Structure 1
Amino acid sequence: MVRMSAEERRESIVRAAMAEFARGGYYGTSTEAIAKRVGVSQPYLFRLFPGKQAIFLAAAERCIEETIRTFEEAAEGLEGEAARYAMGHTYSEVIIQRPERLLMQMQMYLTVGAAEQAGDREFGELVRAGWMRLWDTVHALAGGGDITGTGDFMAKGMLINTLVAMGFPPGHRVWEGVYGTGRP
């Protein structure tokens, strides 16, 4: 049996945390469930991460980074509206195929609100910083300049999130509001 390094374990914990937090949210997910999914003890989990919040933030960071990578790959060689269309289309396909990515994003938004209502502003600042990297990436990939185009793209992204979360299948007429064709 090959033993994993601490870095490999850390990676498996982040992947497991994304799946668990996506399904149960921050407050509904136990570190015990994450440890069990990975096959480690809770004490080992806390040797790699100082606490549940650090695990959630690592999962949130991974979610943002995967979305940025999706956008970068989709927009390669394109600019402006063509880049935005390719990013939106590819993003739609990804979250339809991997709904845990969408659910993790939704949990990020909900958790920021709940944490700040409980007085934890720093938590929100960290998640918002990741989201701003996403915004800045989209803006740069679409050629910069047109801030309205970036805002429109992000707004359509929220529409895409809503359609996928509500289970509207590809080809349904509501997708015409995103692509004009009814197909993501």
Structure 2
Amino acid sequence: MARPVNEEKRLERRKRILKEAVILFAEGGYSNTTTAIIAERVGVTPGTIFQYFPSKEALYYAAVLEPLADIQVKSLACLQQEGTPGALIKNMVKEQFNDIYFYTNELRLAQSVLGQRIRFPELTQKVLESIKVMTDAIESVYAEGQLMGEFDKSFSPAMISRSYISFLNGVGLTLGESIIHHPEWENLKGHAYYLFAPIQPKEKLEESK
């Protein structure tokens, strides 16, 4: 059954509010971004904001956590498809590098929260929980790849997954919006996959002797 027109309009307005809030919070920070500023950017009255979010803090939480949930769903889907562990991880790397470009402000906002752990303890914990879901999934696929001889067995899956996520965050922080135009864009994706220590065909042959 199709949603009533009013409900569709409501969802669309909420989406617009959240989109502008992400940009403004990422650019100006929590303290400098008021609901009045967000309302003005969206083209609604300040009171309208509170019809969708009970407080500025609730809006901030949504601006941080909802995009992270979207990114997580897409990344986990890459690891749950048919294929070898190596192929799944390659697809995930490609997807997450695209996310660095398409979710620049959203990821910048999440990183900002992690840099203010004392100020936002509860929100920080939720962001860390989201990261753990991702690292746990990577560890599982990586360990399976090690058993199949696709990855070096001398490395810890936990260490590999955390190193990769740290590398990904570093790339986002250093290059941001310019990453897709950077001359090393494709090379960076390749290096991200090399962090998983894939075994090359020649190495596999030597291991089997």
TM range (shorter): 0.7 to 0.9
Aligned to 2:136: 139
Normalising by structure 2, we get a TM-score of: 0.66
Query: In 2, are the aligned partners of 1:63 and 1:105 still within 8 Å (CA)?
Result: no
Closer, same or farther: CA 72–173 of 1 in aligned 2, 3 Å:
closer
Task: Kindly name which structure, 1 or 2, has the bigger radius of gyration based on alpha carbons.
Answer: 2
Q: Amino acid of the residue matched to residue 133 of structure 1?
A: S
Question: Does the aligned pair in 2 maintain the 1:135–1:150 contact within 8 Å?
Answer: no
RMSD, matched Cα: 3.0
- The answer to whether 1:126 aligns with 2:123 is yes
- Using the TM superposition, name which of 17-26 and 58-67 deviates more: 17-26
The answer to whether 1:151 aligns with 2:162 is: yes
Residue in 1 aligned with 2:33? 29
- Aligned mates of 1:32, 1:79 — CA distance in 2: 50
CA 1:73–1:160: 2 relative to 1, 3 Å? farther
**2-structure distance, mates of 1:140, 1:79:** 15
- Counterparts in 2 of 1:166 and 1:177: CA distance versus 1, 3 Å: farther
| SS, match of residue 140 in structure 2 | coil
Q: Could you say which residue in structure 2 is the equivalent of 1:40?
A: 44
1:11 and 1:89 map into 2 onto residues whose CA distance is: 26
- 1:32-71 to structure 2, matched below 5 A, reads 32-71=36-75
Query: Which one-letter code corresponds to 2:16 in the other structure?
Result: S
Given candidates 84, 90, 96, the residue that maps to 1:85 is 90
Query: What's the CA shift for 1:71?
Result: 0.7
Classify 1:140/1:70 alpha carbon distance in 2 versus 1 (closer, same or farther; 3 Å). Answer: same
2:107 matched residue in structure 1:
102
What SS does the corresponding residue of 1:143 show, helix, strand or coil?
Answer: helix
Normalising by the residue count of structure 1, what TM-score does the alignment of the two structures yield?
A: 0.73
The residue type equivalent to 2:44 in the other structure is V
Aligned counterpart for 1:160 among listed residues 150, 171, 181:
171
Would the aligned equivalents of 1:79 and 1:142 in 2 still touch at CA under 8 Å? no
Partners of 2:84 and 2:69 in 1: CA distance: 21
Deviations 1:4-48 (A, max 9, x none): 654443232222211221222212322122112222111121232
Q: Distance in 1 between matches of 2:23 and 2:162?
A: 29
State percent identity of aligned pairs.
21
**Quick check: 2:138–2:161 contact (8 Å CA) kept in 1?**
no
- Residue 60 and residue 87 in structure 1: after superposition, are their counterparts in 2 closer, same or farther (change >3 A)? same
Alignment of 1:5-24 (within 5 A): 5-24=9-28
Do structure 1's residue 171 and structure 2's residue 184 form an aligned pair?
yes
Deviations 1:62-104 (A, max 9, x none): 1211220231233333564543333222211222244223322
